[in-house]
Structure 1
Amino acid sequence: MMKIPEIVLEDEKVIFSEESKVAWKAEKKKLRKKDLILQDERVYMIILYTFIKTDIISNNHYQEFLQLSKNSVLLDLRKVKEICERYKIDLIYSRNSGYELKGEEYDIRSLVSYSIGKILSLTIGEWLINYIFESWEYTSNKEIINKVIIKLSKEYNVTFTYDRIKEVIYFFDFLQKRKNSFKLNFDDKDIKYLEQHPLYKMSHFIVKDIFYKNCEKEKIYITIRLLSALQGNEKVYEEEFFKEVTKNIIARVQAITGIVFENPKELFDNLFEHLVPAYFRIKFDIVSKNPYTAQIMEEYNELYYLVEKGLEPLAELTGKAIPEDEVAYFTVHFGGFLSLNREEKRTYKGLSICPNGISSSLIMRTQLKELFPSIVFSSVHSLEEAKALRIEDYDMVFSTTYFQTEKQLFLTKPILNKVEQEILKTEVSQNFDIEVGIQNLDIQKLIKAIEQHATIENRKELYESISNILYETDRNYEGGKNLTELLQEDLIKFTNKKMEWQEAISIAADPLLKEGYINGNYINAMISMVKKMGAYIVLAPKVAVPHARPEEGVAKLGVSLLHLDQPVDFNMDSEYDEDKEVKLIFILAAVDSTGHLKALKQLSKILEDEENITELIDATNARELFNKINEILER
């Protein structure tokens, strides 16, 4: 057991005495590396260790490096080979060269970059990287590289996302130490484009100042890496196709989710900032590890699914499928713009600091606004931005990392689960006169009552279970009711009349109008939205889903459906497309940004298969069509 002097907490700061620091250094030397390094990270350490090798590597070298037995190393090497296969790389052994990574240079670098990201996601990540360097008697040059990039970024007036440029800096550190680099291959079209980019000039100085060489292919590669970490800026990315794809994605996500986002200019600017570097990451196979992907897919299940469908314009532009981690970032981004539809008097000013990137910052601010509707929140994406603010600009700070401030600091995460939300609400209410609801008080009372009559074995799990029950009717992103709960049989109509699209929308919405779901203003708003946004409401061949904002005339959540014997032309002013000859019009009346997402996810799944669409079109009456929808959903 470690014997170190007492650690003191003063003014919410942890104080280590000089005696404590000396004692820790002594104890640290006694720690065995194999006790700190787990199998999951060992495989990535082997990859990085091999990448910068200065001598022949045998099994004995790996044993010494990892402090493991021969058999344990052999098991790890099998896992390394499995990971290498995903990147079309071989880990091979020969007597003359020992263990080596063999494959295309670009693929090897992609594997190394991914491995660095995995290591840096760990609490001891930086320590592990330094350990790898020390094993080859290297010293990290990340501070020097960081200074070069900061200097050049100021000269070229560009901003990088903190977490991504950190990974790039470490990658450059590894690349700098590699003894043998092989030929990089790029498409001529990509070379021509990248050589014209403003950051190509910046890459020239990085190659010269960091890698001490003058290789054109290396400049191209460094340009790609910088672009993948850059915070998008219209001054840097002047190409119209980036702006066009941003507009197309917003329009498509609005159509698929049935949400008309507020603040369209802010949404465009923020999406543009995220989308452009994402384009370069996806196009050039640079993996961006999102530590919150699993949580986002669980917490925002329906929204994640629908946003993934909305990203088709980006998939078409890159020619590649969008990775899960990237979809999760976009989901967080759009989730940050969901309207809360809740007006309350604002009494305090809060500062939200999240250096993890603009998407994480958006979702953090949105979640904080939900938890504390009486606080006016402003957000920044770096500690430097926060330091530049006046102290009177905020009353409290919510941050994902420590920030020196005279005001009350609440350390949090970009995405909180329900228990973490309750804990944060309690902490804030104890320091400020803010009404945060009664859930936290009720839970404590319930636990005390239970404790009087039973033994509580796991207080945290009990707290979470009760919290989940209390939040069951609270606003969430899981989307509420099923499609067949919203689309009743009496809301389905058939017509054999030939008509224009404006009339078709009116007739399709008529059942909702008669039953009091909407008023006439909503129909006019839907028609105006189609005129403004174009035919993005045609979500699948022969199927349209018009909608408008809830405040434009929606009284309650509902869906109606019009079946047309004679197709309605939604081609508008665009090039003719047979798929836009619509025969099914689903009218969505949403009361908020989330209550309908589950139903739209189900509808989207139906529309994925053209055979399903054909079955719906072939129905001859409302009962048959309603039953067919149920049947497809149950398959």
Structure 2
Amino acid sequence: MSQLVQTDGYVRLRDLTEKLQISRRTVYYDLEKINYWLTQNQLDPVQYVRTVGFYVTDKTKRALPAMLSEVDKGQYYFSAKERRAWLGICLLSATQPLFLQDLMDKIGVSRGTTNTELNVVKQELRSAQLIVQFNNKQGYTVVGNELDKRKMLLQYWSRILSMEWKAADSAQKVSVLCRLMERSDFLQITVEQATKIYEQIESCEQQLGIQFTDEMIDHFALSLVIICNRLRHDCCVKVDEDKKAVLRNAAEYEAARAIGEALSDMFAIRLTDDECCYLTINLLGAKRNDVNDEGNSSIEIHHLRRIIRLMVSDFEKQAYVFFQNRTAIEEQMLIHIKPAYYRIKYGLEIENPLTETIKQTYPEIFKITRKVAAHLESYTGRKASEHEIAYLAIYFGGWMKEQGSKPIQRKRALVVCGNGISTSRILQSQLESLFSAVDVVAAISLREYETHSYEVDFVVSTTPLPKRGLPVFVVSPILSDSEKEKLLSQVNALFSEQNKSNHSVKTILDIIKRHAQILDEKSLQEELTQYFQGGPQLIKEIRKPMLAELLTEEMIQLKSEVSDWREAIRLAAAPLLQQQFIEQSYIEAMIESVQEMGPYIVIAPKIAIPHARPEQGVKRLGMSMLRLERGVSFAEDGSRDVNVLIVLAAVDNETHLRALAQLSSMLSEGENLETILGATTTEPIVELIQRYSQSE
């Protein structure tokens, strides 16, 4: 229902099935139940217009928020995700014996379903080093470290609140937080107390001279509520003495103490020095929209800058891309890396709602990011979670997409995103690729939108916004094909001066005026325009060929030896030149690159992948291979012998990534390299390439 309420206009059946990951049958079944409830409460049911989609009337939209807050818990059916979150919260927060019947009553399902969901939750908790135990007297109890318990409580509460907060503005979030806490018997807080918590976070920003992302402010407010609840039940954290000594020197420590004093007064609790240090860790790990320049000369910042340089360099090498403005990229990346470093170092994992989407939509970028993150993991001494890798992948993906040409500045758009800079960057780059005549002037937070004005033609947001007279299009942070189609159609309908339907709409309006009274002519014209809008241009993701499509038999050469590495590159690239994949200038650019930068193209013993920039002579995407019986040295001291050269001719920063990932998998196996080195014909090499070129 929230998908329909948050959308101005119509929602297609296809959009609902893709967005919610459910079948058409489930959509119709759920809408039948929704319409029954709406009718019982004297509200207009969900409407449907053939070929356009579903919509909710303004009367129903206005009445729903107040009515939903009064819905009896027994009338509401939790989704599987909600059921598991509530079970996790119950298990981790229990202060008295908790049995299966209590859990059944909480989520309102049968014994069998409760047991099924409970087993899933047990596995989730086990992954966080927490064990669910049961005995006949005490019921269910969770055994483990307090830090791990708080981490999982934060994840479960975030799943519950994110659904409610998504449709709420800044003021409404306070009421939502209080209402859900009351429903859960977790920590009873008043609207006044919740407001003071948010005010304390704002004071913290001012004290530190920083700005948290919108998403992180909510995340941190929730963390403070969880801390207060745990302390009320004498569940305290312990921080190692050596860590406390370091944390006390951080500026965030004084801010944490100020927050602690405010919480102590509000909830009659006492925050120990360990708890203040725990708050300090949370502040250090909080996602920010900027970096405080103060203290950037510290040893830690110096090391982080070095790590960023290594990560960006490795990403360029492994993805075979060239970022044109390295300095700007590395400075912006520090905004993300600094808090990520503290989260990884101290085990404060935050759940990234886009992790699965990133893995499915940009699998190659995710895999490469996983590899280059090894530099950060080595420095922290801990492995980064998939959620952290996904945040980094968003960052790299955004910069990769931004390498294209600038759009023609005809219309001005604003991006509003509560998930931080990395997420807004990839959304911004998608919009710039989608609309050649639109200039995205800025990507800002929800709070910035609420407090500042911008001269733009329309707004694209990941969250519903208060109405300001500007067209607002609400989308996902990563656009699916159908969302691209819909957005393209909506913007074209809004701004196309030669829209073929304009004349038809005006004619119909004139006819209606002669026979009926129009209550809202502007809205009627907008809906008719949308209805008569022609079919949108189909947007497709860039096709990424498999390895076998590029490295074909005619692109593979077997030779005994060459005079030097320059001849090796020229010979390896010869098939691409002959087939007009590249120009001669590309071969010279590859040689010059090695002369200037050294043997960086030698990616592993005996293997090199020469390449240069696409604009230096690439006509179309291609690969070629040269296998030498006697290795050729790529270093002045005679080292770096190479027997296998794979020349890559990339046309952009994305199209080659699938083939490159398959090549990387193939060459990572030692026995495969031996097969290539020992081949007397191209046949075994071609068979090997075919084996690693399966669709994922």
Q: 1:337 aligns with which of 367, 385, 399?
A: 399
Q: Output the amino acid matched with 1:138.
A: Q
Identical aligned residues as a percent: 27
* 1:558-595 residue CA offsets vs partner (Å, 9 max, x unmatched): 1122334444555799xx9x8x5443222211112222
C-alpha contact (below 8 Å) 1:45/1:132 kept by paired residues:
no
Q: Which segment drifts farther, 150-159 or 305-314? A: 305-314
CA distance 1:91–1:144, change in 2 (3 Å): farther
Q: 1:251 aligns with which of 307, 310, 313?
A: 313
State the SS of the aligned residue for 1:586. strand
Which piece of structure 1 moves more, 352-361 or 275-284? 275-284
CA offsets per residue over residues 265-293 of structure 1, 9 Å max, x none?
Answer: 33223332223322333333333322233
Tell me the equivalent position of 1:230: 287
CA distance in 1: counterparts of 2:600 and 2:342, whole angstroms? 26
Q: Which amino acid aligns with 1:233?
A: V
Q: Is the contact between residue 490 and residue 622 of structure 1 (CA under 8 Å) also seen in structure 2?
A: no
What is the match of residue 562 of structure 1?
626
Q: For residues 572 and 499 of structure 2, what CA distance do their matches in structure 1 show?
A: 42
The match for 1:629 is: 689
Return the match for 2:250 from 197, 207, 217: 197
Pair 1:288–1:615, CA change in 2 (3 A): farther
Contact 1:542 1:584 in 2 (8 A): yes
Distance 1:380 1:622, change over 3 A: same
> Is 2:493 aligned against 1:430?
yes
SS in 1 for 2:189: coil
Correspondence for 2:87 among 42, 46, 49: 46
Cα distance in 1 for residues equivalent to 2:237 and 2:632: 52
Name the SS for the 1:548 alignment partner: coil
- 2:407, 2:438 within 8 Å by CA — same for their partners in 1? no
Query: Given that residues 200 and 219 in structure 1 are in contact (C-alpha distance below 8 angstroms), is that contact kept between their aligned partners in structure 2?
Result: yes
One-letter amino acid matched to 1:276: K
Structure 2 residue 656 is the aligned partner of structure 1 residue 596: yes
The answer (yes or no) to whether the contact 1:541–1:610 under 8 Å persists in 2 is no
Question: What is the match of residue 350 of structure 2?
Answer: 288
Partners of 1:158 and 1:230 within 8 A in 2: no
Residue 542 in 1 paired to residue 592 in 2? no
SS of aligned partner of 1:583: strand
Give 3-state SS (helix, strand or coil) of 2:328's partner. helix
Aligned equivalent of 2:674: 614
Cα drift, residue 545 of structure 1: 2.0
Matching of residues 201-216 of structure 1 within 5 Å: 201-211=254-264, 213-216=270-273
1:148 aligns with 200
Decide whether the 8 Å contact of 1:142 with 1:170 is kept in 2. Answer: no
- Contiguous gaps of at least 5 residues in structure 2: 1-38, 47-54, 167-172, 501-534
Which of residues 569, 573, 594 in structure 2 aligns to 1:509?
Answer: 573
| Superposed displacement of residue 29, structure 1 | 4.2
CA, structure 1 residues 523+234, in 2 after alignment: closer, same or farther (shift >3 Å)? farther
Report if the CA contact (8 A) 2:91-2:140 is conserved.
Answer: yes
Higher relative contact order, structure no. (Cα contacts within 8 Å, ≥ 6 residues apart): 1
Residue identity opposite 2:200 in structure 1: V
Distance 1:542 1:121, change over 3 A: farther
**Do the aligned residues in 1 keep the contact of 2:150 with 2:226 (CA within 8 Å)?**
no
- The answer to whether the Cα contact below 8 Å between 1:361 and 1:379 also exists between their aligned partners in 2 is no
Correspondence 1:369 to 2:425: no
Equivalent in the alignment of 2:51: none
* Corresponding residue SS for 1:229: coil
Superposed displacement of residue 364, structure 1: 0.9
Q: 2:564 and 2:250 mapped to 1: Cα distance?
A: 47
- 2:617 — aligned with what? 553
Using the alignment, how far apart are the partners of 1:499 and 1:201 within structure 2?
66
Shift of 1:186: 4.5
* 1:2 aligned partner: 40
**544-553 vs 428-437, which deviates more?**
428-437
2:180 to 131, 152, 162: 131
1:35 to 2:83 alignment: no
Residue matched to 2:153: 112
Aligned to 1:381: 444
- SS of residue paired to 2:40: coil
CA 1:396–1:483 in 2, change beyond 3 Å: closer, same or farther?
A: same
**Larger mean Cα displacement after TM superposition, 238-247 or 491-500:** 491-500
Alignment partners' CA distance in 1, 2:82 and 2:549: 47
Residue 220 of structure 1 aligns with which residue? 277
In structure 2, relative to structure 1, the CA distance for the partners of 1:390 and 1:319 (3 Å cut) is same
Q: For the structure 1 residues 15 and 627, does the alpha-carbon distance in structure 2 shift closer, same or farther, using more than 3 Å as the test?
A: closer
Give the secondary-structure state (helix, strand or coil) at the position aligned to 2:399.
Answer: coil
Distance 2:99 2:561 in 1: 79
In structure 2, C-alpha distance between the alignment counterparts of 1:407 and 1:605, rounded to whole Å = 49
Structure 1: segments with no counterpart, 5+ residues: 438-465
Q: Distance in 1 between matches of 2:646 and 2:498?
A: 41
- Partner-residue secondary structure (3-state), 1:205: helix
State the match for 2:131 in structure 1: 90
Give the Cα–Cα distance (whole angstroms) in 1 for the partners of residues 651 and 366 of structure 2: 20
Indicate if the aligned counterparts of 2:410 and 2:439 stay in contact, CA closer than 8 A: yes
Task: Give the superposition deviation at 1:241.
Answer: 1.8
Judged with a 3 Å threshold, the aligned counterparts in structure 2 of structure 1 residues 143 and 559 are, in CA distance, closer, same or farther, namely same
**In structure 2, which of residues 453, 457, 475 is the aligned counterpart of residue 412 of structure 1?**
475
Deviates more, 1:584-593 or 1:288-297: 288-297
Query: Which amino acid is 1:31 matched to?
Result: D
Question: By how many angstroms is 1:603 displaced?
Answer: 0.6
Is 2:310 the counterpart of 1:272? no
**Residues 409, 276 of structure 1: CA spacing in aligned structure 2 closer, same or farther, 3 A cutoff?**
same
Q: Hey, what's the Cα distance between the residues in 2 that align with 1:240 and 1:500? A: 40
Answer yes or no: is the 8 Å Cα contact 1:539–1:545 preserved in 2.
Answer: yes
TM-score normalised by the chain length of structure 1: 0.81
Q: Distance in 2 between matches of 1:303 and 1:47?
A: 33
Task: Give the equivalent residue in structure 2 for 1:487.
Answer: 551
2:281 partner letter = I
Task: Please give the alpha-carbon distance, in whole angstroms, between the structure 1 residues aligned to 2:198 and 2:120.
Answer: 33
Separation in 2 of the partners of 1:633 and 1:545? Answer: 18
Counterpart Cα distance in 1 of 2:56 and 2:497 = 25
In the alignment, is the contact (CA less than 8 A) between 2:558 and 2:626 conserved in 1? yes
CA distance in 2, matches of 1:536, 1:357: 34
* 2:360 matches 1:302: no
Counterpart of 1:277 in 2: which secondary structure?
A: helix
Residues of 1 paired with 2:67 and 2:685: CA distance?
A: 75
Aligned amino acid, residue 382 of structure 1: S
